[in-house]
Amino acid sequence: LYTDPGSCEGRCGEPLSEEDECHCHPECERRGSCCGDYERHCGPDGFSRSSDSITDQELLEVSEQLYGLDHNKARPSDIAINPQHQAAPGETGHQEDLSPQPLYKYVNEELFSKPTYSSFIKLLDNYQRATGREEEVTADELREQDNFLREVMKTELMKKLFTFLHGKNRYDSEQEFLEDLKQMWFGLYSRGAGEQDSSGFEHVFSGEVKKGKVSGFHNWIRFYLLEKQGIVNYFSHNFNGPWDTFPDVLGLQFSWDGFYKEVGSAFIGCSPEFEFGLYTLCFLARPGRACHLSLGGYSLSIQTYPWTKSTYGNGRRFIATAYVMSP
């Protein structure tokens, strides 16, 4: 379903990129850089159609479409942030609070009554943040997962994403897409010593603590709610995106209950479905590689990685992480 960076399945004809470990464009034969299964998938008798590959141009186009469909995003009047100190590259590891004020000066919490926001927020307290501790998933928590997925799939943004992926033969039906979203994002795997202690959703949106450091935690709503409670302390930022409306992007340093995040990154002011949809798109199209997108005419890249130590279904991969790449 997703395009494995070491395979040509779903990648035949994909443009050559130096970032890729192997290639699936006919030119790769001359260069000697073809993936090992190039002939099987892309040769004359291959079964992976070039029309199913997702081109760089299509990623730019569909990301702009998704950006335009983020109807639940914050308006400029809904959020006021105070970025304060901009850390130089050598400062991000200093663990110094260089910004005495909170990052969020104001958030219009009426946003959180929107169905995708309220169902998202209910998921955030379902996790043990320490890796190595087994996650116990209750029936109520499973219902909350299903409710969130139902709500995001009602949005034009996620329906557009499904239409795009359906056209690329990734999914036959919206129900199949919904079921795979649940597995890739909420399916449990072990980051510790065998315990089912993690999932893509927990890592990316809620955050984890591993070996005394914050791991994941890339969501602005989670950050705001914990900062409001005094549990998160904003230290500085190392990147502020070029957008003058929301969503924007911030690279930031912070402490979560005494645990430090040296270089985090987050969309600011987007809806939950926008972030969820964009990360899903990049995971399916460019897992393990930089996924180059366009939002409002500005370039943006997302990095995702599949979890490689366990699978679900017929060899499908869970999401290990997904985040905005700040320069």
Q: Is 309 a catalytic residue?
A: no
Same domain flag for 158 and 276: yes
Same domain flag for 32 and 148: no
- 3-state class of 309 per DSSP? strand
Same domain flag for 256 and 114: yes
Asked if the model's pLDDT at residue 1 lies above 60, the reply is: no
Question: Looking at residues 176-187, what average pLDDT do you find?
Answer: 97
**CA trace torsion 116, 143, 199, 305 (10° rounding):** -50
Question: Looking at residues 82-98, what average pLDDT do you find?
Answer: 94
pTM, to two decimals: 0.89
Single-letter code of the amino acid located at 22: C
- The more confidently predicted of residues 53 and 67 is 67
Q: What is the pLDDT, as a whole number, of residue 169?
A: 87
Question: Looking at residues 68-90, what average pLDDT do you find?
Answer: 97
Q: What is the pLDDT, as a whole number, of residue 50?
A: 65
Q: What is the pLDDT, as a whole number, of residue 315?
A: 81
Q: What is the pLDDT, as a whole number, of residue 64?
A: 98
Average pLDDT, the chain: 93
- Residue 51 placed within a domain: no
Count of the separate structural domains present in the chain:
2
Q: Is 203 a catalytic residue?
A: yes
Q: Using 50, 70 and 90 to split pLDDT, how confident is the model at 243? A: very high
DSSP 172-216: SSHHHHHHHHHHHHH--B-SSSSS--B-HHIIIII-EEETTEEE-
Same domain flag for 138 and 194: yes
Same domain flag for 78 and 27: no
- Residue 263 placed within a domain: yes
- Residue 307 placed within a domain: yes
Same domain flag for 258 and 304: yes
Q: Is 261 a catalytic residue?
A: yes
Rounded Cα–Cα distance for residues 281 and 152 (Å): 14
- Domain with 186, as residue range(s), is 56-325
Q: Is 125 exposed, middle or buried (0-12, 13-18, 19+ CB in 10 A)?
A: exposed
Of 41, 203, 210, 292, the active-site residue reads: 203
Question: Looking at residues 101-117, what average pLDDT do you find?
Answer: 98
Asked if the model's pLDDT at residue 34 lies above 60, the reply is: yes
- Residue 77 placed within a domain: yes
- Residue 154 placed within a domain: yes
Asked if the model's pLDDT at residue 48 lies above 70, the reply is: no
Same domain flag for 133 and 15: no
Asked if the model's pLDDT at residue 223 lies above 70, the reply is: yes
Same domain flag for 108 and 82: yes
Question: Looking at residues 109-128, what average pLDDT do you find?
Answer: 97
Q: What is the CATH number of the domain that holds 13?
A: 4.10.410.20
Q: What is the pLDDT, as a whole number, of residue 114?
A: 98
Asked if the model's pLDDT at residue 292 lies above 70, the reply is: yes
Same domain flag for 25 and 137: no
**Close Cβ partners of 115 (under 8 Å, ≥ 6 residues apart):** 151, 154
Instruction: State what percent of residues in the chain have pLDDT above 70.
Output: 97
Residues in the chain: 327
Q: What is the pLDDT, as a whole number, of residue 261?
A: 96
pLDDT digits (tens, 9 = 90+) for 17-27: 888 889 999 99
- Residue 267 placed within a domain: yes
Of 23, 237, 261, 292, the active-site residue reads: 261
Same domain flag for 173 and 236: yes
Of 25, 41, 73, 218, the active-site residue reads: 218
CB 238 within 8 A of CB 92: yes
Q: Which of 95-99, 188-192, 227-231, 320-324 comes out lowest in average pLDDT?
A: 188-192
